[in-house]
A and B are shown apart, each in its own frame.
Chain A
Amino acid sequence: DQQVKQNSPSLSVQEGRISILNCDYTNSMFDYFLWYKKYPAEGPTFLISISSIKDKNEDGRFTVFLNKSAKHLSLHIVPSQPGDSAVYFCAASAQNRDDKIIFGKGTRLHILP
């Protein structure tokens, strides 16, 4: 049973527009959420995170929104750039239980010229 779900395997967005990647989770014990970005043939790199005590965290062009009641988070990238084309992984953990990170299956983002 997937605890972290990324229901869109791929997404195409025009350069300059906003990219929105979605993630849903089922475990109410999760209190820390992360997004990772992965280019082909490379390992994933950490992008941005959010604690459950917040509902928004912003870092430059990247903003993560957390809706705890809906058990949903999203990553917004604006404006989208060609270098943003990659696979994005949503991840979650129950830090208060020192628990492991659980990953979603990823969403491939294509930025169109």
Chain B
Amino acid sequence: GAVVSQHPSWVICKSGTSVKIECRSLDFQATTMFWYRQFPKQSLMLMATSNEGSKATYEQGVEKDKFLINHASLTLSTLTVTSAHPEDSSFYICSASGAGATGELFFGEGSRLTVL
């Protein structure tokens, strides 16, 4: 089956720094990628939807200037958490779907961000 890889799987950074998380589709072209944030004891929260070559569509309440999403190619999307704060500490998970997909979605393994 299709594989979506996230890197890094975990990262620790200091408050005020920026962190980039990559999401790659390894064996298919992902026209659409989704970024989620997981809160403790809660389900995933969709942060944004990104389509290759266009600006990401952010969900209400998600700061687009803080969570920069780039989907420059059909196999790579990046999420950059800018000026990270301890409250940004969380799991960030991406998923990807291919061209013409009728619902198939493949999830990455997640990236755990800890901001000190």
Contacts and interface: CB of A to CB of B under 8 A. Distances in A.
Asked if A pairs with B, the answer is yes
Interface stretch (A19-27, A67-75, A98-106): A98-106
Interface residues of B, number: 25
A40 B95 contact: no
Given A32-B41, A44-B105, 15 more contacts: A34-B43, A38-B105, A41-B101, A43-B34, A43-B36, A44-B95, A46-B44, A86-B103, A93-B38, A95-B40, A95-B41, A101-B43, A105-B1, A105-B106, A106-B104
A40 B105 CA distance: 9
Interface in A77-105: 86-87, 89, 93, 95, 98, 100-101, 103, 105
Interface of B: 1, 32, 34, 36, 38, 40-41, 43-44, 46, 49, 91, 93, 95, 97, 101-107, 109-110, 112
Contacts of B38: 93, 100-101
Majority SS at the chain A contact face? strand
